[in-house]
Structure 1
Amino acid sequence: MKFSDSERRILRLLQQNGRTSNVELAQQVGLSESPCFRRVKQLEEAGVISGYAAIVDQRKLGLDVTAFVQVTLDQRSESATQGFLDAVEAESSIMECYATSGEYDFMLKVVASNIDDFAHISMRRILKFPGVKNIVSTFSLQAIKQSRVLPT
């Protein structure tokens, strides 16, 4: 999909502040309000903008532990994989899940209140997901860069 300079500016500005009003957005992009509003709606309808969300500080919610969990499945059948993916979707402590190449099948980003909470999540839940053979966990010591802003 090809984007105009105005659309790229709209995307950049909305990624930085999704609460920007159409009036402010139009001024910053250099468009009048109606064309700016139409372009934002077109980007939403095309699925380029898939939603808006508040960015919440996980530590202020008491979620002090972030772990990256590498998962190996014991079988790679479609039904076993789907059972695993369904369990991942249902687990609120799993923030992200990626199918990966290499030694492991999936990488999960998991948040927990403390190490005991993480131990419970990993041993009593993730290890019991359908098809899970093994997990390896790595803990984040410090978040250096966290961004949801994509290059435009």
Structure 2
Amino acid sequence: MNLDKKDIQLLALLQNNARLSNKELAAVLDVAPSTCHERLKKLTQYGFFKDFRAGINLKKLGINIEVLIAVRLKSHERNVVNLFIQKLQLLDGVIRYYHMAGDTDFMIHVAVKDSDELRSFIMDKLASFEGIDHIESSMIYDSECVHKLKEINIK
């Protein structure tokens, strides 16, 4: 699917505010709502949307600490990495993880109530995984997702 300027604009609008109605999107794009709806269907059909989710205000849920935890594994064999990912996906508090190249093998975004829960997460849960060589945590003071979709020609 070749994207045109309106498709890129539509993706950018939704990336910044996924709650915009089809009518609102059509007005910004200066197209009929039916045309906008068809564009959305095609973009969805061709897999341009990775997922649909709501950003939650964690503080309202009593989650006061967010941390990025860097993990280096002792071994990088596929079965070791896959087992680590399987175990990681079962842990409460993991928001997102990134499997990376370089000195850090995984960067894990974790959210917990307090420092006691963080210590328990790292020492009792994460550190109990076999195959971890190094763990380092960094507290997040503030975060904001900045979406900037460039107008590029995608073929």
Aligned with 2:145 (options 134, 144, 147):
147
Match of 1:59 in 2: 59
Q: TM (normalized to structure 1)?
A: 0.89
Flag as ranges the 4+ runs of structure 1 deviating above 6 A: none
Q: Which has the higher contact order (CA 8 A, sep 6+)?
A: 2
**CA apart distance, 1:149:** 2.4
- 2: CA distance between counterparts of 1:121 and 1:148? 29
- 1: CA distance between counterparts of 2:130 and 2:29? 49
TM-superposition CA deviations, 1:47-70 (whole Å, max 9, x none): 111332221111111111111111
**CA apart distance, 1:150:** 4.2
Match of 2:48 in 1: 48
List aligned pairs for 1:68-147, cutoff 5 A. Answer: 68-140=68-140, 142-143=141-142, 145-147=143-145
TM-superposition CA deviations, 1:19-43 (whole Å, max 9, x none): 2211111111111111110111111
Q: How has the CA–CA distance of structure 1 residues 102 and 51 changed in structure 2, closer, same or farther, with 3 Å as cutoff?
A: closer
Q: How has the CA–CA distance of structure 1 residues 150 and 92 changed in structure 2, closer, same or farther, with 3 Å as cutoff?
A: farther
Are 2:8 and 1:8 aligned? yes
Q: Aligned partner of 2:14: which letter? A: L
* Matched position secondary structure for 1:111: strand
**CA apart distance, 1:120:** 0.7
**CA apart distance, 1:148:** 5.6
Percent of pairs with identical residues: 25
Q: Aligned partner of 1:5: which letter? A: K
Q: Aligned partner of 1:147: which letter? A: C
Q: Matched residue pairs, number?
A: 150
- 1: CA distance between counterparts of 2:25 and 2:76? 47
Q: Aligned partner of 1:13: which letter? A: L
